[in-house]
Structure 1
Amino acid sequence: MDSHNESVAFIASRVRHFHDQKVPFRIYHGSTNSTRQTAFQRDRMIDTSKLTRVLEVDVERKTVLVEPNVPMDQLVEATLPHGLIPPVVMEFPGITVGGGFAGTSGESSSFKYGFFDRTTNWFEMVLANGEVVKASEDERTDIFHGAAGSFGTLGVLTLFEIRLIQAKKYVELTYHPVKSASDSVRKAQEATKDYSNDYVDGILFAKDHGAIITGRLADAPSPGSRIQRFSRAIDPWFYLHAKSVIDKSSIPVTEAVPLTDYLFRYDRGAFWTGMYGFKWFKMPFNRITRWALDHFMHTRVMYHALHASGHSKQYIIQDLALPTSRASEFIEYVDESFGFYPLWLCPLHRDGRVSMAHPISTKREDGAGGEEDLLNVGVWGPGPTNQAAFVKVNRELEAKVRELSGVKWLYAQAFYTEDEFWGIYDRKGYEALREKYHATSLPTIYEKVRVDLSKKENDGRGPIKTWLREIVLSTWPLSGVYGVYKTIVGGDYLLAK
């Protein structure tokens, strides 16, 4: 803890300096799982990239004390030897604890445990005036709830205590074929009501073809179950394997997957978005090419290439959560408006609390009381290459989600006007928190997540270099080659030059 406390003291002193000078700052983590374009100014940032330690695993209390920049794979690696894992583990191994909390994250266990931030017992935060505080359900409850999904606009998160659950060696997966959007929503709802299931998600491969996939933790495979892996270069990408399974069978099929292979099953290929890279380069997409290019098909590398190449401006990468009763209607809209598949389905549990991470409150239509759970739909595919058309279809998508009482996750590009944005989120409560905890000099969440169409990005380059870079990023295949080159040479891809 001494090393941690020294790091926090230094961060606090930097924050106090910015506060006294009335200079807004941003928090630099060293990497990102956001698709929004960002360039940090070195003289206006708080660097937390060194807060990467798992400090303690308490086996008796089933908790882990962890700094915010610990990624999911490192966290699981630290807890698994003790027979424990976090209840919610995001599917990309590079997503961090702090990113999952401040940026809103859910996974296939979220029908049972809620969003990742709901697994937090307490956190430590450096407020925007440099004061170091602790928040929990019993202490500073308002900011404990309010900081979830706030994207670092209330202070600097420096430490978390996360709850853990008992781990087992395998996840026994069952692939349930579905034939329509309504069938997939119904099957997902049925699966979430069966609490012997530990994991539930789904993939729609076409309007009339998909699978709801349930998982149960198991110490050993059931008799007759085959063991399937997804983490090695020789293994299939998970979504391709799932499609192969349901293409061959009209009845549910069960197999056993080693636990960490399951938790990070979507890492290789970033669900299926890696497929678009092969298409963009006009390369064959088969087992041999996927094996040969496996290094480039992991999410950490793909995010680096995405930001370096500028391709986030050409692809629709959005996660949208809809009340379950409206989810089928939304899937039909996506089919008619975009027509690309697969789509990811992930049930999410609501517990009634509202924050920046959970802005909507939807009454159950069946009159049973409480709130209606959500179904997340991952919509990831190519968009129009013309910027005006790209903005138009994204704004139409946002409008449809609002119409259906849904919400989008803000890791992605947000095209809302300010009035639209604050029509969804609790501006009054958020601004009261910023005032109370001295954060009014920090950028607001809207300022951080919006796509500012009124100006071009300023990444610190001179006009000639900026012009040359725009030429490269708008020319096939130079933009893709440049993205691959940047992943090979490494280095930072977020800091301004």
Structure 2
Amino acid sequence: MRVKHDRAVDTLRAQLAAQPAGAPIRLAKPTSNLFRFREPPGRQALDVSAFGDVLHVDAAARTADVGGMTTYERLADATLPHGLMPLVVPQLKTITLGGAVAGLGIESSSFRNGMPHESVLEMEILTGSGEVVLARPDNEHRALFYGFPNSYGTLGYALRLRIELEPVTPTVSLRHVHFTDEAKAAAAIGEICAGREHAGERVDFIDGTVFSPGELYLTLGTFGQAAAGLSDYTGREIYYRSIRTRSGDRLSTRDYLWRWDTDWFWCSQALGAQHPVVRRLWPRRYLRSDVYRRIVAFDRRHRLSERVAKLQKAPAREPVIQDVEIPVDRLADFLDFFHTEIGISPVWLCPVRLRDRQTWPLYPMDPETLYVNVGFWATVPLDSDEPDGAHNRLIERKVVELGGHKSLYSTSFFGEDEFWSLYNGRIYRELKQTYDPRGRLPDLYDKCVRAR
């Protein structure tokens, strides 16, 4: 596999050399989990389909060499037979390893393992200058290694990554712990993450679901061996609904990793996929987040929902699709604001702390702080005098006020000066000058805010 990979690198270099001098570098990718929709790349886009394989799993060393365009679904399928998994497996199957490292990722093991980029040992990166460099934490490309997370393909693209793996068992047992007070739930998150246990039982995974003010659940997962009585949420049954009706559950480890994907958390409801009749008719193989996203992209591109709303004289709606990190001691404040001003439910909670207290300059989280990722994905009606983006701007201001951070995979509205103060413009400009001096890759602000 490594010989095949090296040949693919040579082919990619030839593709790049054949492009007109100074032409922007873009990739032809079959999937995306970004919510900054734009026109598909043209014919000059680089074909990176050859970088979607797991090259090698070293079970003894607990590492894997993986192509940067490899989806986590494929990666998990390659590592689980060895009794191993990546330290953090983002919740949607078609998120790629390179995408999760360049654009950040999170899941229920993040309270102990941080984010996906923290388990990377080395990266082979195609830079904007056309070079392929090996970036490690201890070599001459150390600055790129640490600056690559949150760069969103504006410094280069990861072609190969070597990552750490951790051992798993066949199943994960779940406890859904009900809370009626958000401040008490936040305090419990802090205690559970600090001690990695609850009520005398080990906790290997933790996330939460807020259904409404005063109704939220922390879901605590523990690796186990027992294979009897496993639940299946890949067909008729819907995982997030089970949280309200079951105090405990058990899934295979693979199904636990993808428990949110079948219904893209709860977003499949907007597409009718949770209606009992539609559910029976919808082929199981298409109950997937990437299918739903393609439907959303088609709708956005052709403005179908917008046209129907105008015909019905319904108010315009603003997409509010964001993930933000809030310090755990300000979580209750953020949720109170969110319920009052935004009103989306359910909301996902996922604690995260930097694994090795190592700072990453383009997403400068405090290494001593436990954060809680708050994820929300819906649309909100706009009043007649409200501009598009009003709710997203309100959220951005609140996140900054509370000392939090906002992921950049979706729409952003920060002014340029504020953006660079939040995402370390000085370090970014130094890296940009070193690895993309001719600007063949987009600028981070242009890509994430101006959507260029």
Normalised by the length of structure 1, the TM-score is: 0.81
Separation in structure 1 between the aligned mates of residue 78 and residue 219 of structure 2, nearest angstrom: 27
Matched, 1:336 2:340: yes
Is 1:450 matched up with 2:449?
Answer: yes
Distance 1:194 1:352, change over 3 A: closer
Give the alignment of 1:403-418 within 5 angstroms: 403-418=401-416
1:306 aligns with 2:296: yes
Contact 1:26 / 1:443 at 8 angstroms: preserved in 2?
no
Partner of 1:478: none
Aligned to 2:359: 354
**Residue of structure 2 aligned with 1:290, choices 268, 274, 279:** 279
What is aligned with 1:13?
Answer: 14
* 1:352-386 Cα shifts (integer Å, max 9, x gaps): 4333652343xxxxxxxx62111001122222367
After superposition, the Cα gap between the structure-2 partners of 1:95 and 1:239, relative to the gap in structure 1 and judged at 3 Å, is same
Give the gaps of 5 or more residues in structure 1: 246-252, 362-369, 458-497
Which residue is 1:230 aligned to? 233
Pick aligned residue for 1:390 from 363, 388, 406? 388
Alignment of structure 1 residues 104-143 onto 2, 5 Å: 104-139=104-139, 140-143=141-144
Do 2:269 and 2:275's aligned partners in 1 also have CA atoms closer than 8 Å? no
Instruction: Classify 1:227/1:28 alpha carbon distance in 2 versus 1 (closer, same or farther; 3 Å).
Output: same
Report the equivalent of 1:378: 375
Query: Shift in Å at residue 8 of structure 1?
Result: 0.9
Cα gap change, 1:188 to 1:287, in 2 (>3 Å)? farther
Give the 3-state SS of the residue equivalent to 2:387 in structure 1: helix
Distance in 1 (CA, whole Å) between partners of 2:26 and 2:362 is: 19
Does residue 39 of the first structure (1) align with residue 42 of the second (2)?
no
Q: Distance in 2 between matches of 1:91 and 1:99?
A: 13
Decide which of 316, 323, 327 is 1:319's aligned counterpart.
323
Q: What amino acid does structure 1 have at the position aligned with 2:446?
A: E
Q: Which AA in structure 2 matches 1:197?
A: V
Aligned to 2:73: 73
* 2:28/2:41 contact within 8 Å kept: no
Unpaired segments ≥5 residues, structure 2: 197-201, 307-316
Greater shift after overlay, 162-171 or 432-441?
432-441
Q: For each residue in 1:51-101, what CA deviation from the matched residue of structure 2 results, as whole angstroms up to 9, or x when unmatched? A: 111111111111111101111111111111111111111111111111111
Amino acid in structure 2 at the alignment position of 1:353: Q
Q: Deviations over 1:112-132 (max 9, x none)?
A: 100011111111012222222
SS at match of 1:70: coil
Instruction: Pick from 213, 221, 236 the counterpart of residue 215 of structure 1.
Output: 221
User: Distance between the aligned counterparts of 1:380 and 1:444, measured in 2?
Assistant: 26
**Ranges of 4+ aligned residues in structure 1 off by more than 6 Å:** none
Distance in 1 between the 2:188 and 2:109 partners? 16
Cα-Cα RMSD: 2.2
Give the aligned residue type for 2:257: L
CA distance in 2, matches of 1:186, 1:287: 38
The CA distance in 1 between the partners of 2:223 and 2:42, in whole Å, is 45
For these two proteins, the number of residue pairs brought into alignment is 427
Cα distance in 2, alignment partners of residues 387 and 121 from structure 1:
51
Q: Distance in 2 between matches of 1:446 and 1:46?
A: 23
Residue 30 of structure 1: how far off its partner (Å): 2.0
Identity of aligned residues (%): 27
TM-score, normalised relative to structure 2: 0.89
**Offset of 1:387 from its aligned partner?**
10
Matched residues in 1 for 2:116 and 2:12: separation?
Answer: 25
Measured after TM superposition, the shift of residue 388 of structure 1 is 5.4
Q: Distance in 1 between matches of 2:432 and 2:376?
A: 33
> In the TM superposition, what is the alpha-carbon distance from 1:440 to its structure 2 partner?
4.5
